[in-house]
């Protein structure tokens, strides 16, 4: 049986086809240029290797060589018939684009760069340095309690206060609790007359209750109410983290490490310096945070400080009696020596206020620098030994209720009315 196979094209046929393809491609690439008589005509484009210039086969001067034509087309139209002016204008645009085109992946210089000034001198804010996604803190794994304890926690979790038990709330506080900005922003809106309650323009000091029609700029607000147990979290802060919601320098904040809340926000109970680690508390109850941080309540804070040097007995007595700092007198309620090795010594100190870098400044008063500072207790909350750096532990409902009773607050974390 005779088999048929496709024959390969002969060399002459291949050359003929490649020649035809080349001629077709050359005809497709045409450019308008001037000849010796200063007339415009179309001709095939001949691209010279390595130069990137285009010349016509007639030997005319390459397009774009020499000075670029000025805008307006006055030189392009000189010595031409009136009917050829539109074509000449398009050709002039192509020449200007070819001569003024910038390389790929480059940006035009800014006004500050052209003037020789820096963005900071021009008042332009420096862009935030990009960084990767911040890893969420790991939750401390704990065992469940007995069946009785689990049932009690379940009942506390489902308990809700009635509208009469919740009572009235200040308007700016209700707006802030519902996620409509801070209290100061809400006060500004009220003073500007942008907030209405039940159809009337609200004033500073107005109180609202469940069922009231509250509107901001005519838009109805769905208020949330503290009718359940608040949440409390113990976090072991690491050195190098900021206790703020936003940092212009793009550094890691503790709020980025915590789990996100859907219906409320975390409130930090006190602060810790950038170089201070240890116990940091968060809650959804603003009254609890105020109850623990306000100086009038005198809640104890205990720190473990490692210093380079050793205090004398007289210096320790002076620290408890009181020393004068730049922002006023300060003292430790208690100080004890916890030992150490070499030049490093550990001390436990207790104080009832949280001024900026107060512990460090008191040691530096005696020219003893603090190389490490760690908070180990805040009021009734003690840093658990199992809670490692960067981990958090959320108190269960029974523990939250115990903390509210200790702070003399109601079930929903709101201060009692006396």
In the DSSP assignment, the letter for residue 228 is S
Length of the chain: 418
Is residue 273 annotated as a catalytic residue, yes or no? yes
Among 46, 212, 273, 333, the active-site one is 273
Q: Hey, what are 382's tokens?
A: 């003690």
- Report yes or no: 230 and 283 within 8 Å, Cβ to Cβ: yes
Cα separation, 305 vs 243, whole angstroms: 20
Rounded to 5 degrees, φ, ψ at 375 are: -85, 130
Cα separation, 206 vs 221, whole angstroms: 16
The CA-CA-CA angle for residues 378, 383, 387, to 5°, reads: 150
- Report yes or no: 254 and 389 within 8 Å, Cβ to Cβ: no
User: Which residues 6+ apart lie within 8 Å of 80 measured at CB?
Assistant: 39, 40, 88
Helix or strand or coil: residue 149?
helix
- Report yes or no: 38 and 79 within 8 Å, Cβ to Cβ: yes
Looking up tokens 């020596």 gives: 337
Q: Which of 46, 52, 42, 37 is nearest to 91 (CA)?
A: 42
Q: How many CB atoms lie within 10 A of CB 215?
A: 15
Looking up tokens 């009734």 gives: 380
Indicate the Cα dihedral angle 345, 346, 351, 356, nearest 10°. Answer: 70
Looking up tokens 């029609």 gives: 213
Helix or strand or coil: residue 47?
strand
Per-state percent for the chain, helix, strand, coil, to nearest 5: 30, 25, 50
- Return the active site residues: 273
């Amino acid at each position: 049986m005779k088999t048929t196979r496709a024959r390969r094209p002969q060399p002459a046929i291949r050359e003929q086809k490649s020649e035809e393809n080349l001629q077709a491609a050359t005809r497709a690439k045409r450019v308008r240029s001037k000849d010796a008589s200063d007339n415009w005509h179309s001709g095939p484009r001949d691209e010279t290797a390595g130069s990137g210039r285009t010349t016509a086969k007639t030997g005319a001067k390459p397009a774009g060589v020499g000075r670029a034509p000025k805008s307006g087309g006055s030189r392009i139209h000189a010595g031409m018939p009136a009917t050829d002016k539109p074509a000449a204008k398009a050709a002039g645009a192509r020449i200007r684009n070819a001569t003024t085109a910038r390389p790929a992946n480059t940006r035009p210089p800014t006004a500050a760069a052209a003037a020789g000034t820096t963005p900071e001198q021009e008042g332009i804010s420096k862009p935030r340095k990009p960084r990767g996604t911040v890893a969420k803190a790991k939750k401390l794994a704990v065992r469940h309690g007995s069946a009785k304890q689990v049932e009690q926690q379940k009942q506390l979790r489902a308990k809700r206060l009635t509208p009469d038990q919740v009572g009235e709330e200040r308007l700016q506080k209700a707006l802030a609790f519902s996620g409509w900005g801070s209290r100061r922003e809400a006060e500004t809106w009220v003073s500007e007359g942008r907030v209405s309650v039940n159809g009337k323009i609200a004033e500073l000091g107005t109180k609202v209750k469940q069922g009231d029609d509250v509107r901001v700029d005519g838009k109805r607000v769905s208020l949330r109410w503290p009718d359940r147990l608040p949440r409390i979290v113990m976090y072991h802060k690491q050195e190098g983290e900021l206790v703020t919601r936003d940092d212009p320098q793009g550094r890691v904040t503790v709020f980025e490490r915590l789990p996100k809340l859907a219906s409320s926000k975390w409130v930090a109970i006190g602060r810790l310096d950038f170089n201070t680690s240890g116990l940091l508390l968060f809650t959804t109850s603003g009254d609890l945070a105020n109850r623990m941080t306000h100086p009038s309540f005198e809640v104890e804070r205990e720190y473990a400080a490692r210093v380079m040097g050793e205090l004398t007995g007289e210096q320790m007595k002076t620290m408890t009696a009181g020393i004068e700092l730049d922002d006023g007198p300060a003292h430790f309620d208690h100080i004890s020596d916890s030992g150490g090795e070499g030049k490093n010594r550990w001390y436990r100190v207790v104080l009832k206020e949280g001024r900026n870098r107060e512990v460090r400044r008191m040691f530096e008063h005696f020219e003893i620098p603090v190389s490490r500072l760690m908070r180990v207790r805040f009021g009734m909350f003690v840093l658990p030994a199992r809670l490692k750096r960067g981990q958090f532990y959320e108190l269960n409902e029974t523990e939250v209720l115990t903390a509210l009773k200790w702070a003399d607050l109601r079930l929903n974390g709101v201060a009692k009315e006396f």
